[in-house]
Structure 1
């Protein structure tokens, strides 16, 4: 019986990860019985070897501390006896169990043979929406007190609390869900399945009624969901937009304070959508002006479900922020409420019918089963079925291919889960919403869709509009990796894989079955012809320039015209094969869609895999067609071959951001473009020119910050010449600056780079030194991804974060979380990159100065965005240190300075003086 069972929750700290050479330096154990912690045991252990600086920095356990501790030989039997007759529990049990068992045997004790449970796997199943399953991250997210991370006693305590929390949640789950999880859990490690099974058996003896918020449909327990009907107050309210200060103050009351800049924006937005003749209005409004409420409040008087406002922002994160934070705030002051729905493509949603079918699969891999069990728990919590709620970094796993939505046309209307479908629920919500929230990628993809997913409307708002040109460019670009395609084809053609399964499913349709076989053969021919084509393509480069692996090279018409006759023949063969394959794809797809209801759900899963592959083939065809045939100046074509000989073709459309060429621009009567950085100095047409817009209105909302009191920009006079320095000298200089500033200031420091190579060089120069000083150094792409690093940085007292790319903007670190920002180099694009060079040539051919009208404005706006990381409210205080002397020495430096806030003090002074001023300034 479980009530008699003792659970030993264990954590160990070691000198390294190899049990053959490394040793334990700390052992912690928490004993649990009857759902309560009954005892604790912890001890330091003398490893009889030096503890590295890295492990000391990680654990806080020093060589001095363990000198008087017992050797493992002294406590081995004590630990063995402590664990006897218990169930071993650990967070990532595979390390702790094996390492401890090895040490016990080394010291003469028996090998561990007790059962074990892994809390990582339990968390993945029963806490499916957590961002991270690292113990520290779970503790923080779940509110578990974790005094000393990476110390065995504290880690064991938190793991024990985590186990109890998960266990309580398991008992609260519906029996139907637990039954399915128990059946699937055989694939879990060690004895985790037995633990789940024992709890399930106990639950069967005391069956609890199903919660009112849940229902069982076709064997799945789902959260009930209702479409909130749009409600509008028709009587009792004035329903007129308050234009005057007095009217707004009365409307806002004490809910939000009146802000003159925000009020001005509200009036501009309302006027634009009700009176202006111009279609396009640009409003530059700095962070802190209340920009979002500045457009939401006036639109609340205009938008209806029949004519909704569509808001496009830069990312899914900001979409959710708009819905959960900004709309909620707006509805506290809006007389006419905003009903908002986040709109995403069908690929973001779970297909319940196909998920249910996967539960009948056998011989699944462990990760597949973990995802299945996690989804079963998530279905009790989600009303949207939006897979982004699971916070996964990627959906590139066979399980997600099997269950991601294909669209409502691919559902069985006769199935019991049809009425519960998440995508249908989304469409119902859209019809009851007067605000539809999308991101720029979704908006840009409207041009590529045969049927638009967004309705026509009088109102479109493009927030963070300066991102739109680059995102539109990325969406329109296409690429083809020959090695990946060849490998995918090979896997799908293996025995009992996709094409065999499709043929079996289509056995009632002999003509289509024959087409599948011909299609299969055509794929082999295409792969072979491509191999020969790339051989001919290589000859162009070998004859024109030195062959350099790993470097992108432009393919221009003059070069391509040198292709051999054999190469031209190969193009014709490939195009002919592709033409036949497209016809076969269309025929096979038609027979599947016409007879969808006759196929089982399992067969539909097979067909979804096939149709996904058809889409891949279509993308290859589109890319190849443009690469060999379309020589309009707007197309930039790149050829990349790595050291393994793997070839990638890329095509990029330089006119993708021209709005008149998109299908969605004409569908909106009036458009508002807003953001914090839309103009370059006095040039208000920088962004509108990039978007191909001419007849626009541009308004600026005055920056509300007092930069003279709140900020400083320092340039050390000793800065080295960046353009003439080699990578080693540059890294040495940047590292020395960071080191001296960090010696003086025990505050978080953000360091921005324009090159990942430079970032890595500086990290490797700083890391050993900072480790010795006990100062955490975080580096993008080395110690973690963006979100993980930002989270750790925000909660640290004195971390140093080295970031590139996305860290220049969209980073919200208010107050003391960020007061020192170092820019290592002015953020110009590398003009030697083939794509950048091609874009500059394209602009030059159009009579546009590529440096003055593209490179300089883009770099300046990025520098302004960096400054925006420091000052995000009237209370923020911060120092921007620029290590690139071109800001004061280059001819264009003055232009860049003038584009920064007028009252921002810019000081070029010796480094020693800068340190003194920095200290004094931040002290105030």
Structure 2
């Protein structure tokens, strides 16, 4: 019995049902339907009308739900309700019944939203319409009750099919876990299990393996041959220079031309290949700026592959974004394999906590009970299903709605909690599978953070490589700053302390450890007493740490989010109280550190693998927690080479965190990265300022390499004709938005963006530097544009970045408002994007603690922070934003900058001169609108 209700709002107590649709399915056919509209006690809001398409006039002559309720309940009968987000629909039906003194015969229902999250865990979203499209279900009008009820009924059939594809053992586990949630849901899984037992028995598919009661996929298991042997057999020895071979592959008439119909060699790509190859051949570093459309990934991958095959030495490629990693793996590498006759191997390496730990999944699932949170049970059910089909066992395959961050933190792979060869899942472990693939690969693709972690860990994290390519290199300083610093969050410390012990020692890892070993003789002498004492210490340190964070939070002035810990502020009474708090904890911290070492030693003597796992988990979580507390303690003493600051987020229930970062990373990068290695290629579309690399060379610690002629530089222009394809427009009468309140600035901006969106018929991306102005503008812009059939998608309001981009692509008549992450990494070619708006030049706030400390050091050295740091950084960001517009040779569009400083200030020319061939059109706003409309038409 599939049911759907449409309502006046989201609160079942105060809002009302305006439509009910019901569908009864028998043997796969619709046997009966129910549909009624109901007149509410007050008019519908514009939002509900827009969402459902139901208008007040449609409900004018409708009956009240009280009159029809007995008929509806009779239609439902004794059958359990099936609904998408059943909790919502059932709660409204229950509230309506209670107001009439009636009741649903069965309040327990079957939720297709929950089942889809469990059985289809890798879908990017689980809205009814999206899942229906994925499953090939024809749908009617979205958010209309009968159509949605019909879709829900059909979806349940598809979910039954999905469940019956699972091994019987998995379905039996799901049945047990579902029994902790709902009798109806457990019965449904029992029926699927019975069907599988009749048709397939308890066989495990060839693509899977079962170990210790857990079923997992065998995808990505490495070959049995040793890694070094596999690579040496593919080595071709030294031949002609790499540059000549690479140019031959990319030239018209070359191997790539034979493979790709209509292929044309690109001059810029050939120029870049030459520079990369020279760096490989001569043993030098290279800084290569490659404009949009150059084809830079293939321009470095082909020489890298040739170098790896000729020398037998591995090449690493580091990127900033997952999107670029995916592009290399899924789009570029298949082409490379064809070029090299399938004799080239590539592996993607991610940070360890991206991979799932199967031992932890099994342990967490085994500990579930009737008092476990509903969300935890559903998340772990999803993980059991995902393990059957996962390709790599990485977090990115799942969505946040399927497995919440807190659950993933409990099942992720970690060095601190790994028992290595004692683990029953050591051989098939997804993390070690990835490491093994990396050891056999010619090219390893990783990210900046892991590459830096590898250097910090003396190259024990990644497979050994002899050459490195850093793409998206304009992010390297930022990532190095983050990686070489540290941070500790009050909420994170609380989470870890609660994992260790809570409820006065009744639950948590340490009490569970004590309970587990209570009836064994294997616990070392005095360990029980030490564990009990440790719980007291953890409780005490946790309380003191919360007080310490309160003292630090008090240092942040009202109206600000962060406060740098200067020498002057370290004399403040609240900071002194913070220091006193931390100094009182040194003895228990030392004792807990010693306990952690004792636990590690004990784990080596454990009688069984399960015992070892439980002990190591306790030691690992204890060490993670101690690391955070130690960082808090370290902040009591100033470090002249580091900047430290406190952050406060939220007003009513503020969340505090403490951060530290190096003031300068250039020396560290020079010493640990560029001096030890001979061949490092750094590339990006934005590395130069007015054609010069001075800023990047100084920023990244490449001065010595440049002075010793160990550095090649090249600026490869984009193949696009920006002078013909793009227009840069600056309204000369725009007010100074920075000097206005956010509300006033949004009012002016909203009106102008409205006119611009009409002129460009949507297809517009607006980039903000202020989240507050973005939200205020979205509020003012949404309804007026909706009346013009132009949708507005706003960051922080309308879903995740991925979901918003997907919606924007599917709806050409729409406007996208974004900040920060939307300035780069977005590919919207053709007519998907024709108008780009930059509200303010993207200068970093000078008040940020790291920026402030760096500027002070530059000033002390007699240098201008603005010209040496602020301006170059803003120009790079500006160029990244501008690069969102023209993505192919056929693209055409306009960039409108609402910041007059680009034409009124002397430094504004630096922005303009960094854009190839683009000259600004400066005129009053109305003239700009006419120019935009004329150019786009």
* Structure 2 match to 1:267: 274
Alpha-carbon distance between aligned partners in 2 of 1:671 and 1:293, rounded to the nearest angstrom: 16
* Structure 2 match to 1:849: 864
Q: CA deviation at 1:558?
A: 4.3
- Conserved 8 A contact 1:753-1:823: yes
Tell me whether 1:82 sits opposite 2:75 in the alignment: yes
Alpha-carbon distance between aligned partners in 1 of 2:924 and 2:576, rounded to the nearest angstrom: 65
Call closer, same or farther: CA 1:801–1:592 in 2, change over 3 Å: farther
Q: CA deviation at 1:344?
A: 1.8
- Cα deviation per residue 1:732-786 (whole Å; 9 max; x = unaligned)? 1111111222334432322111011111221222234345555432221122222
Greater Cα shift, 118-127 or 330-339: 330-339
- Conserved 8 A contact 1:457-1:668: no
Tell me whether 1:343 sits opposite 2:357 in the alignment: no
- Cα deviation per residue 1:807-853 (whole Å; 9 max; x = unaligned)? 11111222222111211111111223444322211222234321112
* Structure 1 match to 2:212: 218
Secondary structure of the 1:457 match is: coil
Secondary structure of the 2:803 match is: helix
Tell me whether 1:312 sits opposite 2:348 in the alignment: no
* Structure 1 match to 2:816: 801
Alignment partner of 2:301 out of 284, 296, 309: 296
* Structure 2 match to 1:253: 257
Tell me whether 1:361 sits opposite 2:367 in the alignment: yes
- Conserved 8 A contact 1:309-1:436: yes
Tell me whether 1:921 sits opposite 2:935 in the alignment: yes
Cα RMSD (Å): 3.4
Alpha-carbon distance between aligned partners in 1 of 2:275 and 2:358, rounded to the nearest angstrom: 45
Question: TM-score, structure 2 length as denominator?
Answer: 0.89
Alignment partner of 1:63 out of 46, 56, 74: 56
Secondary structure of the 2:209 match is: strand
Q: CA deviation at 1:582?
A: 6.2
- Conserved 8 A contact 2:316-2:467: yes
Q: CA deviation at 1:639?
A: 6.7
Secondary structure of the 1:876 match is: coil
- Conserved 8 A contact 1:557-1:631: no
Alpha-carbon distance between aligned partners in 2 of 1:223 and 1:483, rounded to the nearest angstrom: 35
- Conserved 8 A contact 1:578-1:621: no
Call closer, same or farther: CA 1:586–1:610 in 2, change over 3 Å: closer
Alignment partner of 2:629 out of 613, 620, 631: 620
* Structure 2 match to 1:594: 604
Question: TM-score, structure 1 length as denominator?
Answer: 0.90
Alignment partner of 2:744 out of 705, 725, 729: 729
- Cα deviation per residue 1:303-343 (whole Å; 9 max; x = unaligned)? 15962111110123332232122212322334564311111
- Conserved 8 A contact 2:487-2:658: yes
- Conserved 8 A contact 2:37-2:63: yes
Alignment partner of 2:594 out of 570, 577, 584: 584
Call closer, same or farther: CA 1:750–1:147 in 2, change over 3 Å: farther
Call closer, same or farther: CA 1:35–1:565 in 2, change over 3 Å: closer
- Conserved 8 A contact 1:711-1:905: no
Call closer, same or farther: CA 1:900–1:361 in 2, change over 3 Å: same
* Structure 2 match to 1:202: 195
Alpha-carbon distance between aligned partners in 1 of 2:323 and 2:611, rounded to the nearest angstrom: 34
Tell me whether 1:12 sits opposite 2:27 in the alignment: no
Alpha-carbon distance between aligned partners in 2 of 1:624 and 1:179, rounded to the nearest angstrom: 49
- Cα deviation per residue 1:694-752 (whole Å; 9 max; x = unaligned)? 11321111111112222111111220023432323211111111122233443232211
Secondary structure of the 1:557 match is: coil
* Structure 1 match to 2:922: 908
- Conserved 8 A contact 1:116-1:192: yes
Q: Which runs of 5+ in 2 are unaligned?
A: none
Mapping of residues 448-847 of structure 1, within 5 Å: 448-449=456-457, 452-482=460-490, 485=493, 489=497, 492-493=501-502, 494-497=504-507, 498-504=509-515, 508-523=523-538, 526=541, 548=558, 550-560=560-570, 570=580, 573-574=583-584, 576-577=586-587, 580-581=590-591, 583-595=593-605, 597-599=606-608, 601=610, 604-605=613-614, 607-625=616-634, 627-638=635-646, 648-656=657-665, 658-660=667-669, 663-666=672-675, 668-694=677-703, 695=706, 696-847=711-862
- Conserved 8 A contact 1:93-1:118: yes
- Conserved 8 A contact 2:279-2:712: no
Call closer, same or farther: CA 1:897–1:398 in 2, change over 3 Å: closer
Greater Cα shift, 857-866 or 480-489: 480-489
Q: CA deviation at 1:446?
A: 2.4
Q: CA deviation at 1:346?
A: 2.4
Alpha-carbon distance between aligned partners in 2 of 1:523 and 1:415, rounded to the nearest angstrom: 28
Alignment partner of 2:443 out of 429, 435, 443: 435
Q: CA deviation at 1:395?
A: 6.7
Q: Which runs of 5+ in 1 are unaligned?
A: 1-7
Tell me whether 1:389 sits opposite 2:394 in the alignment: no
Q: CA deviation at 1:854?
A: 1.2
Secondary structure of the 1:253 match is: helix
Alignment length (residue pairs):
906
Alpha-carbon distance between aligned partners in 1 of 2:417 and 2:653, rounded to the nearest angstrom: 42
Q: CA deviation at 1:898?
A: 0.8
Greater Cα shift, 822-831 or 391-400: 391-400
- Conserved 8 A contact 1:715-1:883: yes
Alpha-carbon distance between aligned partners in 1 of 2:873 and 2:99, rounded to the nearest angstrom: 62
* Structure 2 match to 1:133: 126
- Cα deviation per residue 1:862-918 (whole Å; 9 max; x = unaligned)? 11111111111112222111111111111211121111122x242111222222222
Q: CA deviation at 1:282?
A: 0.9
Q: CA deviation at 1:462?
A: 0.4
Alpha-carbon distance between aligned partners in 2 of 1:538 and 1:102, rounded to the nearest angstrom: 43
Mapping of residues 113-128 of structure 1, within 5 Å: 113=106, 116-128=109-121
Q: CA deviation at 1:216?
A: 3.0
